[in-house]
Structure 1
Amino acid sequence: MSVIFFFFTASYKSMEKNSIILGASLPLTGINSHLGKDVVVGANTYFSHTNARGGVQGKKIEFIQYDDKYEPENTFSNTIKLITKDDVFALFGFVGTPTVKRVMPLIAESNIPFIAPYTGASFLRTKDTPNIINFRSSYTEELDALVEYLTKQKNISRFAIFYQNDDYGEEGYIALSNALSKRNLTLSAEGTYKRNTLSIRHAIHEIETAKPEAIILVGSYKPTARFIEKVKEQIPSKMIFCPISFVNADALMGELHGKGDNILFSQTVPSYDDFYSKEATEYLKNLAFYYPEEKPSLVSYEAYLAAKTVVTALKAINGIITPSKFLDKLKHIAPQTLDNIPLVYHNAQLLNQVYLSNYVNGKFEIIQKYEY
Structure 2
Amino acid sequence: MKAGVRTYVKVALALGAALGICIAAVAAEPGIAKDKIVIGAFLPLQSGLAAGASQLRDGADAYFKHVNDTGGIHGRKIEWVVENDSYDPQQTMAVAKKLVDRDGVFAIVSTLGTATNLAVLPYLAQRGVPLINPAGGHERLNAPTDKNVFGMLPVAKKTGIDMAEYAVGTLDAKRVAIFYQNDPWGKDPRDGQIDALAKRGLKPVAEASYMPSDIDVSAQVVALQKAQPDVVLMNVIAKHGAMFLKEAQRLGWKPKFIASNVMGDPVVLDLAGSAMEGVIVNLITAVETMDTPAIKKANEILAKYHPETKPGYFTYLGMAGAMAFVEGAKRAGKDLTRPKLIAALESLGRFETGVVPPVNWSTANHGGPTTHGYAVWKEGKLAPLKGW
TM-score w.r.t. the length of structure 2 is 0.86
Query: 1:224-267 CA distances to partner (integer Å, 9 max, x unpaired)?
Result: 1111121233353x311122123463222221214433311012
CA separation of 1:326 and 1:181: change in aligned 2, threshold 3 A:
farther
Which residue in 2 is equivalent to 1:3? none
RMSD of the alignment, in Å?
Answer: 2.3
Structure 1: state its 5+ residue gaps: 1-7
Which residue in 1 is equivalent to 2:379? 361
Which residue in 1 is equivalent to 2:186? 169
Which residue in 2 is equivalent to 1:154? 171
Query: 1:258-305 CA distances to partner (integer Å, 9 max, x unpaired)?
Result: 443331101211212212x11100011111111122222221022112
Query: 1:64-87 CA distances to partner (integer Å, 9 max, x unpaired)?
Result: 111112122211111110011111
Counterpart selection for 1:240 from 256, 265, 272:
256
Matches for 1:99-110 after TM superposition, within 5 Å: 99-110=116-127
Which residue in 2 is equivalent to 1:255? 271
* Mapped contact 2:152–2:321 kept (Cα < 8 A): yes
CA separation of 1:209 and 1:342: change in aligned 2, threshold 3 A:
same
**Cα distance in structure 2, aligned partners of 1:81 and 1:333:** 30
**Do residues 296 (structure 1) and 311 (structure 2) align?**
yes
**Cα distance in structure 2, aligned partners of 1:231 and 1:23:** 40
Which residue in 2 is equivalent to 1:195? 212
Which residue in 2 is equivalent to 1:5? none
Aligned-pair distance for 1:342? 3.1
Counterpart selection for 1:351 from 362, 369, 380:
369
Divergent runs of 4+, >6 A: 8-11
Which residue in 2 is equivalent to 1:26? 43
**Cα distance in structure 1, aligned partners of 2:358 and 2:238:** 28
Q: Secondary structure at the match of 2:127?
A: coil
**Cα distance in structure 1, aligned partners of 2:188 and 2:209:** 13
Q: Secondary structure at the match of 1:14?
A: coil
User: Higher helix fraction: Structure 1 or Structure 2?
Assistant: 2
**Cα distance in structure 2, aligned partners of 1:197 and 1:68:** 18
> Which amino acid in structure 2 is aligned with residue 58 of structure 1?
G
Aligned-pair distance for 1:46? 0.8
Counterpart selection for 2:282 from 237, 242, 266:
266
Structure 2: state its 5+ residue gaps: 1-24
* Mapped contact 2:155–2:368 kept (Cα < 8 A): no
TM-score w.r.t. the length of structure 1 is 0.90
CA separation of 1:336 and 1:171: change in aligned 2, threshold 3 A:
closer
Deviates more, 1:321-330 or 1:43-52: 321-330
**Cα distance in structure 1, aligned partners of 2:100 and 2:26:** 9
Query: 1:162-182 CA distances to partner (integer Å, 9 max, x unpaired)?
Result: 112222222222122222233
**Do residues 113 (structure 1) and 108 (structure 2) align?**
no
* Mapped contact 1:10–1:87 kept (Cα < 8 A): no
* Mapped contact 2:144–2:150 kept (Cα < 8 A): no
Matches for 1:275-294 after TM superposition, within 5 Å: 275=291, 277-294=292-309
Counterpart selection for 1:136 from 145, 148, 153:
153
Aligned residues: 361
